[in-house]
Structure 1
Amino acid sequence: MTASEPSSPQSGTPTPQKTAPHVFDAELRRIRRARAVRRAVKSDKPAFFIPRCAEDAADRMQDINRRFERALIIGPPDFWPQLRELLPTDKHPTTVVQAYDIDPDDAADFGLDIGAPDDGLPIDGPKYDLIISVLSLHSVNDLPGALLNMRHILKADGLMMASLFGGDSLRELRTVFYSVEAERLGGMSPRIFPMIDFSQAAQLLQRTGYALPVVDTDRFTVNYGALSTLIGDIRDSGDSNVAVARDRRHLSRDFLKALEAAYRAQFSNEAGKITASFEILWMTGWAPHDSQQKPLKPGSAKMRLSDALGAKEIKI
């Protein structure tokens, strides 16, 4: 994993030092996300995960004693209306700019202001005091660069919140894919693209210069009556496999039947439904500002920890 780093702490704009690895097919991701948005508009039904993320984002915003003036919302166009409904009026940002990684022409059709990938947002100086990225960062080629770009368009003491699928997502589906492919195709391929874990997310926030970084995890299990319903939820979120190294062979009906049989044999509940695990990582950080709390320097404490705890100190 590589990053675009600033040339100096005072530069204000990132200077690429290395080329990010080409793990994901960016054009295919853009096409599939646009299709997912069209399906959501046609059915008037948001992707399964969007309401959950809207509730989480609303809870976080209501815990912050501030009204944000100018917000950048990165995600499907139906996210902001849901978040807005969950927030009291005094928590609504004065101005909201919406962006998503789809073709600019499609973005305009869906009422979005910017059509650009998270790691390719226009950087024209700090202008936002709030950025929320919704289930978008897990399939960008330059995740550190995307986080860095967002920090550079945040005003000092501005807040960045980002949700993305974590590495524990779809572990059951990954397991059965590997077993059925090994048996029927004589090998294994990356059917589910790689995702970062909790510790990697925390390291990335620190590496890209966010102050007061916090990472927390939303883990949950969903029960499905059929494998096709699970696959439908993945497609509706625009997150079907876009890895460059994906196996492009068409899966036969017999293969899919074997896949569902293996899934039910290994991961089904007492009601006969298959279970699917999801993990959504929430990354929160602030653009640095002098007013923010800072950790004390080592050795600057005025009281021993043992005295504060009323315990006896034993030298080793």
Structure 2
Amino acid sequence: MSQNPTLTDLRALTRNRARAQDGALFLQELARDEVEDRLSMVNKIFKAPGIVAAFPNMWRGNLNNARVVAEAEVIPLGVGEHDVVIHSLGLHWSNDPVGQLIQCRRALRPDGMLLAVALGGQTLHEMRSVLAEAEISVSGGLSPRVAPMGEVRDLGALLQRAGLALPVADTVALTARYQSLWHLMRDLRAMGEANALSARLRHPTQRAVLDKAAELYVQNFSHPDGGISATYELIVLTGWAPDDSQPKPLRPGSAQARLADALRTDETPLSD
């Protein structure tokens, strides 16, 4: 009986992460800074944080009493042990992102907060476009090269599927400038984000494909200050473990005042 195909080759991902260079982890640093900023705006003191991170060492010492664990299919956080759980920049490689969020919810105490940062669908859309066009032009085929990443609406819906209350999803966009496609690919390897898709080619890409892609990149996505542009989109997901103390929507028809009165305007009936 055959197993269902998986998106990510976890052995390749682990190898890529191990080869990452500390000086190239600016996306991970941006995600950490975003999390810290948002936690500072929450009117609550968190005393038992749990952190799931691709690069755990980056997080150690940042939050008091935090338990920091590496990203894994089975997250080693105890049930109901944390008042906040942070999932930092790993969902785009997960074979089961809903399962990841469910595990995070199970690790939360009632009214505990989940704060997850994921790469969104606009990430590297320029690179995805030129590689696809170049490969079709040169070889007549198409192979997976950039991990598929969810759109903000889709990722926001995952919070509800995971059983989290008060779900919110928003985006943080970043445009980076590189000298060329070659420099961009080198940077992706240095940050541990090289191709780890299970369906990836297992042999080197034809040089003609890469040369064509580099040419198309300059033609279509040049940066105003020289070089090329590359988009990174961080999607920030926030949700809470359900608790009776949380605000709940009113029952339809229970309003005690007319909206027109509150707005100080006339109510106009709609035609049938």
Normalising to structure 1: TM-score of the pair? Answer: 0.80
Aligned residue runs from structure 1 range 34-45, under 5 A? 34-36=18-20, 39-40=21-22, 45=23
The verdict on how the C-alpha distance between 1:21 and 1:251 changes in structure 2, with shifts beyond 3 A counting, is closer
| Deviation string, structure 1 residues 260-282 (Cα, Å, up to 9, x no partner) | 12211111024331011111100
1:149 to 2:103 alignment: yes
1:47 to 2:25 alignment: yes
Q: Which amino acid is the alignment partner of residue 168 of structure 1?
A: Q
Deviation at 1:125, TM superposition (A): 2.1
Aligned residue runs from structure 1 range 231-246, under 5 A? 231-246=185-200
Normalising to structure 2: TM-score of the pair? Answer: 0.92
Judge conservation of contact 2:222–2:229 (CA < 8 Å) in 1: yes
The verdict on how the C-alpha distance between 1:134 and 1:157 changes in structure 2, with shifts beyond 3 A counting, is same
1:26 to 2:5 alignment: no
Deviation at 1:206, TM superposition (A): 1.0
RMSD over aligned Cα atoms = 1.8
Query: Does the residue aligned with 1:49 lie in a helix, a strand or coil?
Result: helix
Aligned residue runs from structure 1 range 1-316, under 5 A? 22-36=6-20, 39-40=21-22, 45=23, 47-75=25-53, 76-81=55-60, 84=62, 92-93=63-64, 95-101=65-71, 117=72, 119-122=73-76, 124-316=78-270
Q: Distance in 2 between matches of 1:23 and 1:221?
A: 27
Q: Distance in 2 between matches of 1:32 and 1:150?
A: 25
Deviation at 1:252, TM superposition (A): 3.7
Query: Does the residue aligned with 1:147 lie in a helix, a strand or coil?
Result: helix
Q: Distance in 2 between matches of 1:176 and 1:270?
A: 19
Q: Distance in 1 between matches of 2:94 and 2:223?
A: 34
Q: Which amino acid is the alignment partner of residue 23 of structure 1?
A: L
Deviation at 1:46, TM superposition (A): 5.2
For structure 2, the 5+ residue unaligned runs are none
For structure 1, the 5+ residue unaligned runs are 1-18, 85-91, 102-116
Judge conservation of contact 1:47–1:233 (CA < 8 Å) in 2: no
Q: Distance in 1 between matches of 2:57 and 2:210?
A: 32
Q: Distance in 2 between matches of 1:203 and 1:151?
A: 15
Q: Which amino acid is the alignment partner of residue 240 of structure 1?
A: A
Q: Distance in 2 between matches of 1:157 and 1:233?
A: 39
Q: Distance in 2 between matches of 1:147 and 1:166?
A: 16
Identical-pair percentage: 36
Q: Distance in 1 between matches of 2:39 and 2:224?
A: 39
Judge conservation of contact 2:135–2:142 (CA < 8 Å) in 1: yes
Larger RCO: Structure 1 or Structure 2 (Cα < 8 Å, ≥ 6 residues apart)?
2
Query: Does the residue aligned with 1:240 lie in a helix, a strand or coil?
Result: coil
Judge conservation of contact 1:151–1:210 (CA < 8 Å) in 2: yes
Query: Does the residue aligned with 2:56 lie in a helix, a strand or coil?
Result: coil
Equivalent residue, structure 2, for 1:9 = none
Query: Does the residue aligned with 1:120 lie in a helix, a strand or coil?
Result: coil
Deviation at 1:20, TM superposition (A): 7.3
Query: Does the residue aligned with 2:66 lie in a helix, a strand or coil?
Result: strand
Deviation at 1:57, TM superposition (A): 1.0
Judge conservation of contact 2:51–2:86 (CA < 8 Å) in 1: yes
Deviation at 1:124, TM superposition (A): 4.0
